[in-house]
Amino acid sequence: MNTKIISQKFKILGMIAFGVFANAQSLYLTSALPVNVTVGSSPSFTLNYTSATPCKIIVSLIKSQSDGVTPDWNTWQTGTILDNLPATSSPVSKTITVTVPANQTISTDLPSGINYLWALTLQDSSGGWIAGSQPQTNIISSNTVIDNVSFNGALPASVSAGSTQSIPYKYTATTDRIVKVGLSKYSSSGNWISDVVSVIINPASATTTTPVSGVANLAIPAGTTSTANLSNGEYYGWEATMATTSWSYMNGTNTNVVVTSANTTLSVSDSEAAKNPIKIYPNPVKNTLYFSNPEKIKSVKINDLTGKEIFRSTKDLDKGVDFSEFAKGTYIITLNGTDSQKIIKE
């Protein structure tokens, strides 16, 4: 047997194996996976990584799709990023702590088929995926009573001024507190400006670990300025907050909502116009949005659901509005400064 040839083969195989090892990039847990995590707690993850380039580790809590295992990357709940990590061919250990919000929905209250997943991700410095995994976890109730308030179901994303909306909420409290549920106005930077309407529970009595549930019936004033007509990037949001009995803020949550103009009694001229209403089509829209009676339109304004104005025009409205460059989602289109409608971009 030609030992020189055999030796050369082993040399080549060794070079290949070394090349694979040297270019390996990985991320894996070396600590126990936090499987049952209590709301309000801060589990820690110890992970080893290898990377050929500078990188970052991201640990996030997300939801699965309806099959229970496939990640739904649009459902980020909470997470931590460990940035500016150097490249390394030898495993380096890092520990990351993630805080689960006290008002996080527990796993048993998720829709059927949906689970929570830990997204353990290694990315390069520009955000490109290198390695990762998405093991399942359970979010469970706390055995200790905490002071917390949250919404308790789906909230309307768009409402009309003059309408009454039923907003579900729930809370737990260690002693008597004040709970407020309402519609508020915020600045473009997210700072509270004023209440539009609210319901106050005072006192919100002490509870066990089982939340007290309720529904706030909110009558939105007919004269409320529509989202489309707010200035300086202001917007509306549903708000649920908890305070001490001396009105010292403790915690809360809010979510955006679009307010459209109230339906008012039509004048004679408006009634004539109503016989030939302006129709907007197609809806949903992919490319161009058209109007059935463009000669009746003097202005068009489009806002996203945060209230940000993204389009305004008073010219060439007979050609429609080009939606092709808009991101997918829901928008509010306002015609002639008063008539607001929801448009979905596919």
Write out pLDDT tens, residues 118-175: 999 999 988 899 999 999 999 998 888 888 899 998 899 899 999 999 999 999 999 9
Out of 140, 172, 200, a domain closes at: 140
In this structure, the answer to whether residues 202 and 252 fall within a common structural domain is: yes
**Residue 283's domain is classified under what CATH number?**
2.60.40
Out of 260, 283, 316, a domain closes at: 260
More reliable by pLDDT, 287 or 6:
287
- Among 110, 99, 109, smallest CA distance to 40 is for 99
- Rounded to whole angstroms, the Cα distance separating 124 from 74 reads 20
In this structure, the answer to whether residues 155 and 254 fall within a common structural domain is: yes
- Rounded to whole angstroms, the Cα distance separating 188 from 184 reads 13
Within a domain: 16: no
Within a domain: 325: yes
Contact at 8 Å (CB) between 41 and 100?
Answer: yes
Contact at 8 Å (CB) between 27 and 47?
Answer: yes
The two most distant CA atoms of the chain are separated, in Å, by 106
Out of 115, 140, 165, a domain closes at: 140
Within a domain: 11: no
In this structure, the answer to whether residues 154 and 224 fall within a common structural domain is: yes
Residue 276 pairs with which residues in a beta bridge?
none
- Rounded to whole angstroms, the Cα distance separating 102 from 139 reads 11
**In the prediction, which pLDDT does 277 show?**
59
What residue spans of 217-335 are helical by DSSP H? 268-274
In this structure, the answer to whether residues 135 and 34 fall within a common structural domain is: yes
Per-residue pLDDT at 262 exceeds 80: no
Distance of CA 235 to the CA centre of its chain: 16
Within a domain: 9: no
**Residue 60's domain is classified under what CATH number?**
2.60.40.2550
Domain of residue 132: give its range: 25-140
19 band by pLDDT with thresholds 50, 70 and 90: very low
Question: pLDDT tens digits, residue range 28-65?
Answer: 999 888 889 998 899 999 999 999 999 999 999 999 99
Question: pLDDT tens digits, residue range 209-258?
Answer: 889 999 999 999 988 999 888 888 889 999 999 999 999 999 888 888 99
The SS3 call for residue 144 is coil
In this structure, the answer to whether residues 243 and 173 fall within a common structural domain is: yes
Q: How many domains does the chain have?
A: 3
**In the prediction, which pLDDT does 6 show?**
40
CA distances from 149 to 81, 182, 237, 250, 257 (A): 27, 13, 16, 10, 19
Residue 238 pairs with which residues in a beta bridge?
183, 255
Question: pLDDT tens digits, residue range 172-194?
Answer: 999 999 999 999 999 887 888 99
In this structure, the answer to whether residues 280 and 227 fall within a common structural domain is: no
Within a domain: 218: yes
CA distances from 73 to 67, 70, 100, 217, 321 (A): 14, 9, 18, 34, 31
In this prediction the pTM is 0.49
In this structure, the answer to whether residues 67 and 130 fall within a common structural domain is: yes
More reliable by pLDDT, 278 or 196:
196
**In the prediction, which pLDDT does 119 show?**
95
Within a domain: 239: yes
In this structure, the answer to whether residues 221 and 289 fall within a common structural domain is: no
pLDDT > 70 in the chain, percent: 87
